[in-house]
Amino acid sequence: MKKTVKNKFVLVILAIAIFIPSVVAVVNYNREKNGPVDTKSVVSMKVGDLDGVEYSFSKDTEEGRRTIDIFVAMMTDAEEVGQLPEPLFDDPFYLVTMSNGNTEAIYRYYFDSASADAYYTDSNGSAFKPAASAVEAFMKSSLSASIYGDSKLPVLALTGGDGNVKPSDASWFYRDFSGEFVVLDCSDKISAESEVYSVEGGLSMNFEPYPDYFHVTVVNASDNNVIFDDLYENISQLKFDKASKVKVDVEAKWYEDSEREFYGEMEYSFGADISAPAVFYLGAGEISNGECVSVTGINITDPSKVKFSSEPDIGYTPVFYKDGDVVCALIPISADKRPVSAAAPDTYKFTFTYGGTVQETELRVNLRDYHETTEYTYTVADNIAALYSDASRSAASNALSSVFASGSSERYFGDGDFAKLFDDHALNRSFGKNYKLNGGAAFKQLGLEYTAPDGEDVKAAEAGEVVYVGTTDVTGNIVIIEHGYGLKTLYCHLGSASVAVGDKVAKGGVVGKCGRTGFTNTSGVYFGMYVGTVPVSVYPFWNDGTFGRIPFYAGN
């Protein structure tokens, strides 16, 4: 019996002896993984800065040892604070991974660009506050540059170009947390190679932040003749009337200033392959308020990059659509943009910008009062008047806003006129007139309302695609047709609709039946025309109107 116990005891001792190395290994692993890190155990380190740039360091190099020592110093004798201060929860951080060759430990470092305050968290989520003296060593190192917004080099962008230009030389200084200027290491931010950029229409450059001194030299690549050598502010003197290839040198300076957090100098040398400049043409030189004008642009590859402004402001930004080799848009002048008198028309200055091209053109807007100076009474039953409440109009606007905001690059309307809906039915309300509802609230009529028998066919004024069929309290049953470039016609108060969304309709095609639905006091149909969100008059585009059709640039 004693022999058996003795044998069991020996087996237990052997098992423990075998198990002890494993226990020791696990303990050592956990100690290495979760315990304090020192310079003896860390052999390599990876650091990801606030700009997402990752750096690798090894103790095999002097720089690596120095950088590892900086981070280890911040961890030595750091004060445990439990958790990060709440304001830092969503702040960006440096992601630091330390390795001793067998295991890795990950830390997140949070720095304040205005002080030597810093925090870090370990893989367990515990937070620590390093000593200020240790943090200062890091803040003075080149690795801290991403903390300071003013350490980033200015960016030279070519308007209408295919990328930002890399400098050929750079010298840059930024102010650190102590108020002293620090030189930025620009070696990885410059390029000795002269790249060639595709640019549309001309040389238009932009800096952020803009330099105090901005000099440009442009040389014709075909004969090496200097065609511009001046400050950039005079670059408008350089015109290109055809596609050109040029070489460009830029010198930019930001002067040192007590109010500034940066200063420096940068040089650029690059080639530019300039396409033919964009040109814009209005379809008419004058229209009246409440009407629209077309604009055609040539030498444009991306219509979404065309920028537009108006003086005075028309309150509308046209959308350009690709149409073969050109781009087109319609520009409405609201009926409310009313000149003072027929003898004093308004002149609008339109500015079109595309790539390096900036073009100004003028549109004369004559007065058409649509009897706006007179107020007409519009009498309806109380239950019908209720359909024109603020709530019902808001609901109708919400239902239709996305429809008006859309547009099609397919131009369905041709060179002909927009047909009148009826020749033998009277207008109950006409475009642009002011009406007073039952002696109460006033409103402006923004379309035409015809009186016509129930059930009579309502026909499309022009070819297009049906983009909306529905009902609102104000419009009753409504059909909306897109004719191209965001130009739409509306058919309201219908007894019924004969089409569905997506249907293509021909000019004169039946879209529904006359009715008496929605806000109206008679059987018939309401007909409206919109350019985007702006209602316009169809009068000029009837066969007996001012234009008889929507005029476009003759070269189109």
Rounded to whole angstroms, how far apart are CA atoms 524 and 37?
Answer: 86
| Residue 263 exposure: Cα atoms within 13 Å on the Cβ side | 10
Rounded to whole angstroms, how far apart are CA atoms 47 and 143?
Answer: 9
Give residue 333's Cα distance to chain centre.
25
Q: Residue 19 above 60 pLDDT?
A: no
List, in sequence order, every beta strand (DSSP E) within 147-260.
155-158, 164-165, 169-175, 181-183, 196-199, 205-208, 213-220, 226-231, 244-254
Q: Residue 18 above 50 pLDDT?
A: no
CA dihedral 507, 508, 510, 511 (to 10 degrees): 50
* pLDDT grade for 38, boundaries at 50, 70 and 90: low
Give me the pLDDT at residue 33, please.
43
Would you put residue 31 in left (φ > 0), alpha (ψ -120 to 50) or beta? alpha
Q: Residue 28 above 50 pLDDT?
A: no
Q: Residue 304 above 70 pLDDT?
A: yes
* pLDDT grade for 556, boundaries at 50, 70 and 90: very low
Domains assigned to the chain: 44-147 (no CATH), 150-274 (no CATH), 286-366 (2.60.40.10), 375-536 (2.70.70.10)
In tens, the pLDDT along 48-79 reads 999 999 999 999 999 999 999 999 999 998 99
Q: Compute the mean pLDDT over every residue in the chain, rounded to the nearest whole number.
A: 90
Q: Residue 5 above 50 pLDDT?
A: no
* pLDDT grade for 224, boundaries at 50, 70 and 90: very high
Query: 282-300 b/e with 16+ CB inside 10 Å = b?
Result: bbbeebbbbbbbbbbbbbb
Give me the pLDDT at residue 163, please.
75
Q: Are 475 and 515 in contact (CB under 8 A)?
A: no
Lowest-confidence range among 265-269, 316-320, 323-327? 323-327
Give me the pLDDT at residue 442, please.
85
In tens, the pLDDT along 256-290 reads 998 899 999 999 999 999 999 999 999 999 999 99
Residue 348's nearest CA partner among 335, 358, 361 is: 361
Q: Distance of CA 164 to CAs 181, 232, 233, Å?
A: 27, 17, 20
Give me the pLDDT at residue 511, please.
98
In tens, the pLDDT along 382-407 reads 889 889 999 999 999 999 999 999 99
Reported pTM = 0.70
Q: Are 199 and 273 in contact (CB under 8 A)?
A: yes
CA dihedral 453, 457, 462, 463 (to 10 degrees): 160
Q: What is the DSSP letter of 83?
A: S
- Of 154-168, 234-248, 451-465, give the range with the top mean pLDDT: 451-465
259 CB-near residues (< 8 Å, 6+ apart): none
In tens, the pLDDT along 75-123 reads 998 999 988 998 899 999 999 999 998 899 999 999 998 888 999 999 8
